[in-house]
Amino acid sequence: MLIVMKPTATQSEIDRVMEIVETLGFRPHAMPGASRTAIGITGNKGAVDRAHFENLPGVADAIRVTKPYKLVSKDLRPERSVIKVGDSEIGGEKLAMIAGPCAVESPEQVFQVAEVVAGSGAKFFRGGAFKPRTSPYAFQGKGEDGLKVLAEVRDQFGLNIVTEAMDEHGVDLVEKYGDCIQIGARNMQNFSLLKYVGQTRKPILLKRGLSATLDEFLLAAEYVMSEGNYDVILCERGVRSFGTHARNTLDLSIVPALHKLSHLPVIVDPSHGTGRNYMVDPLARAAVAVGADGLIIEVHPCPEEALCDGAQALLPGQFIELFEQVQAIRNVLQPAEETVALQV
């Protein structure tokens, strides 16, 4: 059930609806939009009776939701969500650029990249302190020490920190040190973890699983949102296929498909999505051209020495060039004047 409030509804009318939903034993999720607020209801088994709501003051309509996802849906919020991450945002007019090394290896390595990223005008820094590695014998990340280095990057360079958590303990730490909690592709259907991060108050960057369908991807976001955390950023990072020319098959068609169904922002990871240095640049351009709200890019000062995924990392100079080119493409899609007009 979805309660659409009138554009003129007052906050107390909204609160009244919220209370009634709770009284019925369900959970209300208020989504304020540009012209009106909608309230999604979860926790019900079977249909909720419209009669509870349709005659309340401020209520425009009470709509039954038949799709499997509710809170991620455009039915609830017709316009795109802009997610606040630290002191910047993802999903708005500006292309969001998240860049940094695959893994935190040392303060020197991290600061060297952070300087380049900050200098480029990007607002977000990535770097893993907890690394989900296929082998138990591979480098597993620096843990809390790594997170402290990332926190220093925020202090020194003013970059907002996006970093992965793999379990509840990691979530607690990332919540403390970082600005955005990344859930990796292999945990996209770790439902316990999704529920746990749904109870934090930091935005979530949710990567698409290696063979996740669009429905599964949106429902993973729904898991987070159904717990009350509505700040979810979706990230396409390539799917498994038969091909061998790239490490994964970057599925850019999911970007317009997600935007059609959901209000959540969608970014693309061409680094993991291709696994090949020479492909990152063209696929980053393609991702922006297809309409992605941002990119997440791996940069390493010395890729051949990287402890993790060096084959896909860009050199600092390559990254600077890439960022300029993708912004130029973004401008073609969204002329500067129009952007200004929209922001007014």
Given the complex with its own copies, which of 100 and 184 has the nearer CB atom?
184
**Is residue 97 helix, strand or coil?**
strand
Shortest distance in whole angstroms from residue 141 CB to its own copies: 11
Tally the residues of the chain.
Answer: 344
321 lies in the binding site for its own copies (CB under 8 A): no
Strand partners for 206? 183, 234
Position 181, amino acid: I
Q: Which of 62, 129, 254, 313 binds its own copies (CB under 8 A)?
A: 254
Query: Do 126 and 99 meet the contact criterion of CB atoms below 8 Å apart?
Result: yes
Binding-residue pattern over the window 27 to 46 for its own copies, x denoting contact by CB under 8 A: ---------------x----
CB of 281 to its own copies, least distance (A): 8
Q: Where are the beta strands (DSSP E) in 208-263?
A: 232-236
Count of chain residues binding its own copies (CB under 8 A): 69
Cβ proximity of 48 and 87 under 8 Å: no
**Residue 121 is a binding residue for its own copies (CB under 8 A):** no
Handedness of CA 57, 58, 63, 68 (dihedral sign): negative
Stretch that binds its own copies, among 12-20, 109-117, 248-256, 297-305 (CB under 8 A): 248-256
Of the pair 59, 221, the CB lying nearest its own copies is at 221
Work out whether 47 is an interface residue with its own copies (CB under 8 A): no
Binding of its own copies by 305 (CB under 8 A): no
Task: Decide if residue 215 touches its own copies (CB under 8 A).
Answer: yes
Q: Considering only 99-107, 120-128, 229-237, 270-278, which stretch makes contact with its own copies by CB under 8 A?
A: 270-278
Residue (291 or 310) nearer to its own copies, CB: 291
Amino acid letter for position 168: E
Token pair listed for 145: 């020490």
User: Among 312, 282, 270, which residue's Cα sits nearest to residue 97?
Assistant: 270
Q: Which of 10, 11, 156, 192 binds its own copies (CB under 8 A)?
A: 192
Q: Should residue 78 be labelled a site residue for its own copies when binding is judged by CB under 8 A? A: no
- 37-42 sheet: strands from edge to edge: 27-32, 37-42, 2-5, 59-63
Q: What sign does the dihedral 295-173-155-101 (CA atoms) show? A: negative
Structure tokens, 44: 């019900």
Beta carbon of residue 12, minimum distance to its own copies (angstroms, whole number): 29
* 114 close to 159: Cβ distance less than 8 angstroms: yes
> Which residues form the interface with its own copies (CB under 8 A)?
42, 68-70, 132-137, 166-168, 170, 186-187, 189-193, 195, 209-211, 213-216, 219, 222-223, 226, 239-246, 249-257, 260, 273-274, 278-279, 282-283, 285-291, 325, 328-329, 332-333
